[in-house]
Amino acid sequence: MENKVALVTGAAQGIGFAAAKAFAEAGASVALADWDKELVNKAAGQLKADGHKVLAIACDVSNDSQVQEMVSKTVEAFGKLDAAFNNAGIQNVLADAADQTAEDFDRVMGVNLRGVWSCMKFELPADAQAGQWCDCKLFFDRRNSGRPAKRNIPWSEARRHRTFEKCSARICSARNSHQLHLSWHHSYADG
């Protein structure tokens, strides 16, 4: 990843931070993005202290203008964009489906589904100068996690996301044959 630029959403902690650290340790310059400005600045500070080239960006991926600004800041800071790990995601309130609000559902879909689309919408044009593209997305399918079926909102999110992934892979493939589209899926049902 020497001389490459990676953008990681949901990068303030957990899997997102681990991915950002892995990109940085492999030699990439990394833009860390997260909705929590304080946490993403702290995460970027940890990587900077280790001598890595990083940029912290506060961004809500469900907001198109913030996503566009996130990608623009990455390209302005590092000159290009080679890879993205669209990891940002939230979990719905654990409650019976009948007790879920439309606002809760819309917020989850806005981040977990539309947010991935919005990121890709602005990331793909930014890769035109880079020549290669690697786009990773992560989601967990919880259909066999032991929760009662009436609380299975995450399963429906995963189903929609899986369909979206297949479509986005075809779009990337058809759009530019030299692009590599990598999706990482883990399903508890698959092991």
Which two tokens mark 120?
A: 């890709």
Rounded to whole angstroms, the Cα distance separating 156 from 178 reads: 32
Contact partners, residue 117, CB within 8 Å, separation at least 6: 164, 168
Number of structural domains found in the chain: 1
Query: At CA 92, angle to CA 88 and CA 96, rounded to 5?
Result: 165
> Per-residue b/e over 38-51, b at no fewer than 16 CB within 10 Å?
ebbeebbeebeeee
Cα–Cα distance for residue pair 158/165, rounded to 1 Å? 10
Q: State what percent of residues in the chain have pLDDT above 70.
A: 66
The domain of 56 spans 5-187
Question: In angstroms, rounded to a whole number, what is the distance separating the alpha carbons of residues 34 and 26?
Answer: 21
The Cα-based distances of 35 to 57, 149, 159 in angstroms read 8, 30, 25
Distance CA 13, CA 18 (A): 7
User: Which among 188, 111, 116 is positioned nearest to 152, based on CA atoms?
Assistant: 188
Whole-number pLDDT of residue 91: 83
Centroid of chain to Cα 101: 25
pLDDT at 2: 85
How large is the greatest C-alpha to C-alpha distance in the chain, in angstroms? 50
pLDDT for res 133: 54
pLDDT at 136: 54
From first to last of its 191 residues, the chain has per-residue pLDDT tens of 888 999 999 999 999 999 999 999 999 999 999 999 999 999 999 999 999 999 999 999 999 999 999 999 999 999 999 889 999 998 877 778 888 889 988 999 999 999 999 999 999 888 666 565 555 554 443 333 444 334 444 444 444 444 444 444 434 443 443 333 333 333 333 33
Nearest to 138 by CA among 185, 78, 105: 185
Q: Which has the closest alpha carbon to 4: 100, 71, 12, 25?
A: 25
| Overall residue count recorded for the chain in this entry | 191
51: domain CATH number is 3.40.50.720
